[in-house]
Amino acid sequence: MKRRISLPVLTLLLVLLAGCTGAAPSRQDSASPSQPQSAAPAPTLLEPRASGTPSFDYYLLTLSWSPEYCHSHPSDIQCTEHSTFVLHGLWPENNDGTYPENCSNAPGPSNPSQYSDIYPDVSLLDHEWKTHGTCSGLAPDAFFQLARKTFQSITVPPELAGLTKQTSMPPAQILGLMIKANPSIAAPDMALSCGSNYLTAVEVCVDKQGHPMSCGKVKTCRANTVRIPAPQ
């Protein structure tokens, strides 16, 4: 004999069954139909940062040893000056060794020629602004004025400025000469770059006002000695 189901029990079962047929709303369905959600486009390196001022810890003032560069690029405009150290760039850096680049599409200075004393090659100035200056949080003129001020605050050691023939030195000795000529700079504030055992650059870590400060994780040359070509 089949067991008869009473009306109250049947009513309760129908209520419970109706509650189980409705699926719980997902997170993506929580918006009202009048305000549909859409996926935000992934930011690109060339988009302006929403924060306004990019985050970085200090600048790396990179001073290229011009005679080494000019040995393989004799027709470059900077090589007509027979310089020693020339300004390569003022680069935003982070203490952990990372660095921002290409932070916006903001245009560079309206009159690049006013910076020909530090960037005789306009294409290099344009590159430095797009790659590094846009990450400084500064207007173009303010950025290049800081670069000029910081570069001009560095004294080239006479032992290097007066070279008449190629010589060789340990990296520590070169940095020691820089400290001797620039008492405000300490050993932890600098690094040295080399390529094929030739001096390519000295890098000075500076704060956002251009004052020397201790570097973060900056690579430095590990050669026992490096060759230093003389200005021609």
Q: In the annotation, is 132 catalytic?
A: yes
- Taking the C-alpha atoms of residue 88 and residue 63, their distance in angstroms, rounded to an integer, is 6
Please give the DSSP secondary-structure letter assigned to residue 152: H
**DSSP state, 131?**
H
Phi, psi of 86 (to 5 degrees): -125, 155
DSSP 118: T
| Residue 47 bears catalytic tag | no
- Is there a contact between 80 and 112 (Cβ–Cβ < 8 Å)? no
Which entry of 68, 93, 128, 203 is annotated as an active-site residue?
128
Single out the catalytic residue among 68, 88, 93, 203.
88
Residue among 71, 73, 93, 132 flagged as catalytic: 132
Closest CA to 164 of 105, 222, 232: 232
Active site residue 127: no
What are the catalytic residues? 88, 128, 132
